[in-house]
Amino acid sequence: GAGVSQSPRYKVAKRGQDVALRCDPISGHVSLFWYQQALGQGPEFLTYFQNEAQLDKSGLPSDRFFAERPEGSVSTLKIQRTQQEDSAVYLCASSLARNRGSYNEQFFGPGTRLTVL
């Protein structure tokens, strides 16, 4: 069965350029998460969707970061006016969990490695 897929796998952007990163979660998974993993660090939470609703965006580092999941399946993370400090691997994960308090395994995609020059 298909896992979580992300595209592109690699993205090189010039400083100031806008980028869009796509995540295709596992079919039927209600919850979707975005994480940022800097080199040598563990993943850091960015935002969480339950279906199409963005229930938590507390981890987004600035208003240049925007995420959406308009139909409750595919999600896009957009970064405007990219800066060098945005260089990282952006991971997407999905899970079956249907409410905030419950825990279900999060299945991660391979990530998109963003390099901002």
Partner 1 sequence: TQLLEQSPQFLSIQEGENLTVYCNSSSVFSSLQWYRQEPGEGPVLLVTVVTGGEVKKLKRLTFQFGDARKDSSLHITAAQPGDTGLYLCAGGSGGSNYKLTFGKGTLLTVNP
- List of residues contacting partner 1 (CB under 8 A): 4, 31, 33, 35, 40-45, 48, 56, 91, 93, 95, 97, 100-103, 105-111
Torsional sign, CA 74, 109, 21, 43: positive
Question: Closest separation between CB of residue 81 and partner 1, Å?
Answer: 27
Question: Closest separation between CB of residue 52 and partner 1, Å?
Answer: 16
Q: With respect to partner 1, which residue has the nearer C-beta, 41 or 115?
A: 41
Question: Closest separation between CB of residue 25 and partner 1, Å?
Answer: 12
Cβ proximity of 8 and 49 under 8 Å = no
